[in-house]
Structure 1
Amino acid sequence: MSKGKQLKTINPATGDNIDTYEMMSDSQMTEAIEDCHKAFSEWKSKTAEDRAKVIKKIGEKIAENKDELASLMSREMGKLVKQSHQELELCSGICDYTAKNGPESLKDEEKELPDGGKGFITYSPLGVIYGIQPWNFPSYQVVRYSIANLMAGNGVLLKHAENVTGSALMLEKIYLEAGLPENLFKVLLISHDQSDKVIEHDLIRGVTLTGSPDAGKVIGKKAGENLKKTVLELGSNDAYLVLEDADLDLAVKTCVQGRIYNNGETCVAAKRFIVVDKIYNKFKEAFVEQMSAVKAGDPTKEDSDIGPMAREDLRDELHEQVEESVKKGAKILCGGKMPEGKGFFYPATVLDELEPGMPAYDDELFGPVASLIKAKDDEDAMRIANSSRFGLGGGIFSKNEEKARELAKYHFDTGMVFINSFGLAKPNMPFGGVKDSGYGREHGTFGLHEFVNVKAVMFA
C-alpha cells in the first residue's frame, strides 16, 4: 500500500471530524511485526513476577490518565462519559487481577507419571499475538486480550477499529509509560488487505478477533489456512428469560439497563426479552414505560441516558432491521423513528409481536432496540432462548435461585448466564460463547492459557 492513505475519526454526536492518521505502508507494517518479535524474544525470558510488576503499573497508568482517555473514548464512539470511566475502572481492575494471580496461573505443574516416572507441565509463551478489535469498548477490548498475553510472555499487535484510532494510540503510549518494553505492544494502522498479510506472516503465532460472525468466518478461515490458533468472540442475540416467579420490578429495571447500556452497542447486552404468558402484559407495560423515558443526548451531559450510535452506517443498518421486522408483522411499542438533526442518534425502541424470520427475532440488533417475545411457560421460554444461532450470554429472572441455577447449568446453551442481574465482564470469570458467538475464552486463567504452549516435560 502506498503511503498517504488515512484513517479518520468522527464525533458521532455531531458528525464532525476529530482527527486523521496516516496509514502504514507494507514495509512499515512488516517492520512493526519484526520489532514486536524482537521485543518478545527478550520479554519471554523475564520471570512471571517481573512481568506482573509491569502489568500492575499499566493499570495504575490507565487510572492516572482516566479523565483524558475517557473523554477521548466518548468523543470517538459516543458512549456516556460516566460509562467510559466505568470501562477504564474495569481495565485497571483486569491489570490488578492479572498481576496478582498471573504468576500462580503460569506456574509449572509437577506430575507423577503412571509408569513411575516424573514430569511437569509448563506454560511457555508462543510469540506475537495479533488482535483485531471493535470500537464499542475502545479500551476494554484491547486490555482484555493484551494484558493476558503480555502476562503470559507474548508480544501483542493491535488492529483497532478506525473510528477509535486515537484511543488505540493513547493506550500504546500508556503501556510504554508504564515501563513495557518498546515495540512489545504495537498499534497497526492498516487496511483489511494488509491485515490478511499480518495473519499470514510467519512470526504471528495466534489471532484473536472480536467482531461479527461474518468477520469471524473470514478471519477463522484465513488463520486456519495458515495453521494459526484463533479466539473468536462474535457477538450475540442474548435472551433474558422472565419467568412466572420473577421479581417483576427488578426484572424490568435490569432489562432496561441491560438493553441501553453503552448505547445498546454491546455484544453481551440483553437483546431478546422472553417473558412467560402469565406476566407478559405486566412486564410489557412497565418495560415500555421505562424505555419510553430513556433520553438520547450529548454523551458528555449528565442528563443523557444514551448517546449517539458510533457510526452513521450502523444507525442506518439498525433502522433497516427495525423496518424490515415491521414489514413482516412486528409492532413498534415505542421509538423506531429516525431522528432529525446532527449526530447519529437513535431512540430507545421496543418491538412486539415478533416471529422467526424477522431480523428482530433472529439477528443481532446492535443498538437500543429491544425485542419482546412471549413464551407459554418456563420450558417454552428456554426453548425459544436456545433456538438462536448465537450463544454468548443470557439471563434468568426467578425468585427460585436453585431452579435458575439448574436452568443455567443444564439447559442454557450460552457461554455466560446472569441470574437476576445484568453484567458485562469480571476479571476472574471466563468471557466467551458458543455456536455463532465464537469460541475460546478470555479473562482469568482461561485467557492466560489460550495463547501459550502447554508443554509436557517427562523424565524416565
Structure 2
Amino acid sequence: MFTSVNPATGAEIATYEELKPEEVEAKLQCAADAFARWRTTSPGERAELLSRIAGQYETHKARLARTVTEEMGKTYKSAVAEIEKCIAGFRYYAKRGPAMLEPEKAMLANGRQGETHLLPQGPVLAVMPWNFPFWQTVRFLAPTIMAGNVGLLKHASIVQGCAGLMEEMMAAAGAPEGLFQNLRIKSGAVASIIADERIVAVTLTGSEGAGASVAEVAGRHLKKVVLELGGSDPFIVMPSADINAAIPQAVTARVQNTGQSCICGKRMIVHADIHDDFLKGFTNAMLAVRAGDPMDEATDMGPLSSFEQLDTVLDQLERAKAAGGTLTGGERIGNAGAFISAGVLTGVPWDSEIAREEIFGPVAMVFKAKDADEAIRIANAVPFGLGSSVWTNDEAEKRRFITEIEAGMTAVNQMLASAPEVPFGGIKRSGHGRELGREGLREFANLKTVML
C-alpha cells in the first residue's frame, strides 16, 4: 500500500494498491509486445506522438502542478514551472530527435564508407525520485520514446498520484498500449525486474545507496545503467564578481524546491576579500525567505517533502553544530507541516564529515577561501561531482574553474539549471551517464556500425 500525504498539512490525500506479481508480469510482457511494434515506427511518427504528449501537458498544466504541490510540497508556481519544462522537453525531442537519429557517415582509410546508426534496444526501467516527479521522469522518457524504446516507471512512493497522471497523459495523447507504464512496486521488487530478460537497461535518479544497489544488480545481469545521484554543488564567488547579482542567485539556488534539488548550490565558497560582505547580504536574504502555504503566490518556499525528510535535515543540522558550526535560521516552523526556515551555517570545517554530505534542505554552508587554489580545493573536497556555479569576471579564473572543478556541469556567472538542449549528469559519486541533449538519446540506443 502507498499513501500520499500532504506535507504542508499532514493530511492523507490518497492510497494506492501495490501491484501483485502477476500484474507486474503482465506489464512486463505488455512492454515487450509494445517494443516489438514501436521499434519499427519512423522518427517522424515518434516525433508526432511527443508533440501530442506535450499538448496534453499543456492542457492539463494546472491539474498536474496542483498534484505535485499536494504530494511533495513545492510551491504551486514552481510546480507550474516544472510542467512547463516537461512540455519543453517533449517538444525539444519532437523537433530535434529525428535529425539526431540520422546515420553518421565516415570515410574509411580503405576508401569505403562507414556509418553509425542509432537503433532501439528494448524496454527501459526508470527508478525515479520525488523532488521533481514529472521532470525527472520526462528527462528519461522523451529521448527513450524518440529512440524507439519503451519505458517502465518505478516512482517514489510518496508521488504515486503524479506517476498515475503521467500514464494518463500518455494514453490521452494516443500512445500505443504498453509504451509507458507505471509500476506501483516497492524498492524490494526492483532487482527482479532488472534481472528480467525483457528489460535491457535501467536509469536511476536518487541516493548513493539506491544507485549502488541498482548498479550492482544491473552489472550482475550485464545491463546498461545510467545513474544521477546526489550532489553538494559548490557556489564560488570571487572578488571580480558582481556580488549584488550573485547573492540573490545564491539564495534562489539554495531554497528552490525547499533546497531539495541535486544541482542547487549547497556550499557557498567565497573569497576572503569579499566574504564578510557576501555573508551579511546572503544571510539577510535567506532569513527573509517566506515559508508557508505552497498554494499561496506570496510564498517563497513550501514544506519539505515529508516529515521523514524534515527529521533527516534537522539531524544533519545538529551534527553540523556539533562539528563547530554556527546556525542562523534553519529551524522547524510549527507542528502541522514539514516546514523549516531557510538558514545559513558558518564555521563548519570544510574537511569535516558533515561538510562532505548533501544537506537536502534550505540551509547553506558558507566557507571562506583565501584564493582560487583554496576555492578549488574546497569545491573538490566532497565525494560528489554533479554541478557547480562560479562567479568571476577574471578570464583566467573562469578557465581554471571550468577545467579544475570536478563536476559534470559548471555554470559561469549564473545559477546552474538543467535544459533539454545540453547533457545533464555528473562524475565521482554523483553517478555516470547523461540525460538530455543528443547524449541522452544515445544512452539507450544501439550504436550500430555499418560498413558499406
Q: Could you tell me how far 1:340 is from its partner in structure 2? A: 2.6
Q: Could you tell me how far 1:404 is from its partner in structure 2? A: 4.7
Paired residue total = 452
Q: Which residue matches 2:421?
A: 428
Between the aligned partners of 2:152 and 2:410, the Cα distance in structure 1 is: 31
Equivalent residues in 2 for 1:345-384, closer than 5 Å = 345-356=339-350, 358=352, 360-384=354-378
Q: Which residue matches 1:225?
A: 220
| Aligned partner letter, 2:222 | L
**Does 2:25 align with 1:30?**
yes
Provide the secondary structure at the position in 2 that maps to 1:223: helix
2:258–2:361: 8 Å Cα contact kept in structure 1? yes
Q: Could you tell me how far 1:403 is from its partner in structure 2? A: 3.1
Q: Which residue matches 1:453?
A: 446
Aligned with 1:392 (options 354, 371, 386)? 386
Q: Could you tell me how far 1:357 is from its partner in structure 2? A: 5.2
Equivalent residues in 2 for 1:33-182, closer than 5 Å = 33-182=28-177
Between the aligned partners of 2:340 and 2:93, the Cα distance in structure 1 is: 37
Provide the secondary structure at the position in 2 that maps to 1:244: coil
Between the aligned partners of 2:403 and 2:320, the Cα distance in structure 1 is: 32
Q: Deviations over 1:18-64 (max 9, x none)?
A: 00011101111111011011011101100011110101111111111
Moved more, 68-77 or 173-182: 173-182
Q: Which residue matches 1:325?
A: 320
TM-score (norm 1): 0.96
Equivalent residues in 2 for 1:282-297, closer than 5 Å = 282-297=277-292
Equivalent residues in 2 for 1:179-328, closer than 5 Å = 179-328=174-323
Provide the secondary structure at the position in 2 that maps to 1:204: coil
1:299–1:307: 8 Å Cα contact kept in structure 2? yes
Between the aligned partners of 1:323 and 1:358, the Cα distance in structure 2 is: 14
Between the aligned partners of 2:319 and 2:361, the Cα distance in structure 1 is: 16
Between the aligned partners of 2:166 and 2:396, the Cα distance in structure 1 is: 43
Between the aligned partners of 2:107 and 2:282, the Cα distance in structure 1 is: 58
2:289–2:342: 8 Å Cα contact kept in structure 1? yes
Q: Which residue matches 1:340?
A: 334
Provide the secondary structure at the position in 2 that maps to 1:208: strand
After superposition, the Cα gap between the structure-2 partners of 1:157 and 1:404, relative to the gap in structure 1 and judged at 3 Å, is farther
2:57–2:87: 8 Å Cα contact kept in structure 1? yes
Between the aligned partners of 2:71 and 2:417, the Cα distance in structure 1 is: 21
Q: Deviations over 1:97-155 (max 9, x none)?
A: 11110010011123322223223211110100000000000100111101110000001
Consecutive unaligned residues in structure 2, runs of 5 or more: none
2:356–2:381: 8 Å Cα contact kept in structure 1? no
Q: Which residue matches 1:3?
A: none
Q: Could you tell me how far 1:252 is from its partner in structure 2? A: 0.8
Q: Could you tell me how far 1:90 is from its partner in structure 2? A: 0.6
1:416–1:432: 8 Å Cα contact kept in structure 2? yes
**Does 2:410 align with 1:417?**
yes
| Aligned partner letter, 1:9 | S
Q: Could you tell me how far 1:336 is from its partner in structure 2? A: 2.9
After superposition, the Cα gap between the structure-2 partners of 1:60 and 1:299, relative to the gap in structure 1 and judged at 3 Å, is same
TM-score (norm 2): 0.98
Q: Could you tell me how far 1:335 is from its partner in structure 2? A: 1.1
**Does 2:392 align with 1:403?**
no
Between the aligned partners of 2:139 and 2:69, the Cα distance in structure 1 is: 19
Between the aligned partners of 2:92 and 2:143, the Cα distance in structure 1 is: 10
2:387–2:416: 8 Å Cα contact kept in structure 1? no
Between the aligned partners of 1:341 and 1:210, the Cα distance in structure 2 is: 30
Provide the secondary structure at the position in 2 that maps to 1:72: helix
Q: Could you tell me how far 1:180 is from its partner in structure 2? A: 1.1
Q: Deviations over 1:277-303 (max 9, x none)?
A: 111111111111000111110100112
Q: Deviations over 1:309-353 (max 9, x none)?
A: 001111101110000110111011x21323332010111010001
After superposition, the Cα gap between the structure-2 partners of 1:52 and 1:152, relative to the gap in structure 1 and judged at 3 Å, is same
1:37–1:184: 8 Å Cα contact kept in structure 2? no
| Aligned partner letter, 1:192 | S
1:396–1:404: 8 Å Cα contact kept in structure 2? no
Aligned with 1:437 (options 427, 430, 435)? 430
1:244–1:378: 8 Å Cα contact kept in structure 2? no
1:26–1:194: 8 Å Cα contact kept in structure 2? no
- After the TM superposition, which segments of 4 or more aligned residues of structure 1 sit over 3 Å from their partners? 356-360
Identical-residue share of aligned pairs (%): 37
| Aligned partner letter, 2:407 | T
1:132–1:209: 8 Å Cα contact kept in structure 2? yes
2:8–2:293: 8 Å Cα contact kept in structure 1? yes
Consecutive unaligned residues in structure 1, runs of 5 or more: 1-5
| Aligned partner letter, 1:337 | E
Between the aligned partners of 2:354 and 2:368, the Cα distance in structure 1 is: 14
Between the aligned partners of 1:119 and 1:287, the Cα distance in structure 2 is: 56
Q: Deviations over 1:405-441 (max 9, x none)?
A: 4124311211111111113211111100000000001
Q: Deviations over 1:155-208 (max 9, x none)?
A: 100000011100111011101111211111000001112111110100000000
Q: Could you tell me how far 1:361 is from its partner in structure 2? A: 1.4
| Aligned partner letter, 1:85 | V
Provide the secondary structure at the position in 2 that maps to 1:124: strand
Between the aligned partners of 2:102 and 2:261, the Cα distance in structure 1 is: 34
Q: Could you tell me how far 1:448 is from its partner in structure 2? A: 0.4
Between the aligned partners of 2:135 and 2:151, the Cα distance in structure 1 is: 15
2:108–2:114: 8 Å Cα contact kept in structure 1? yes
